[in-house]
Structure 1
Amino acid sequence: MTKAGVVIHFPNPTRIHDASRHCVCFWGYDKAREIAFQVDDGVLARLSPNKDSDESSLLAAFDRNRERILEIARTVYTGGPQNRYTIS
Structure 2
Amino acid sequence: MTLAFPNPSRSFDRTRNAVRFTGYDGMFEVPFFVETSALGQSGAEPRGEDVPETRFLSAFDALRASIHDAARKAYFGGRLTSYILTAADLR
**How does the TM-score come out when normalised to structure 2?**
0.79
Alignment root-mean-square deviation, CA: 1.9
SS in 2 for 1:21: coil
- What residue in structure 1 maps to residue 66 of structure 2? 68
Residues 65/16 of structure 1: CA separation in 2 closer, same or farther (3 Å cut): same
How far apart are residue 82 of structure 1 and its match?
2.0
SS in 2 for 1:58: helix
Q: Residue 42 of structure 2 aligns to which amino acid in structure 1?
A: N
SS in 2 for 1:83: coil
Aligned residues: 80
The question of whether the paired residues in 2 share the 8 Å contact of 1:34 and 1:83 is answered with no
**1:43 pairs with 2:38:** yes
Unaligned runs of 5+ in 2: 47-51, 87-91
Identity %: 36
How far apart are residue 83 of structure 1 and its match?
2.5
If asked which structure has higher relative contact order (CA below 8 Å, sep 6+), I would say 1
Given candidates 14, 19, 24, the residue that maps to 2:14 is 19
**1:34 pairs with 2:29:** yes
Q: Which runs of 4+ in 1 moved over 3 A?
A: none
CA distance in structure 2 between the partners assigned to 1:24 and 1:82 by the alignment:
18
Q: Residue 73 of structure 1 aligns to which amino acid in structure 2?
A: A
Q: Residue 50 of structure 1 aligns to which amino acid in structure 2?
A: S
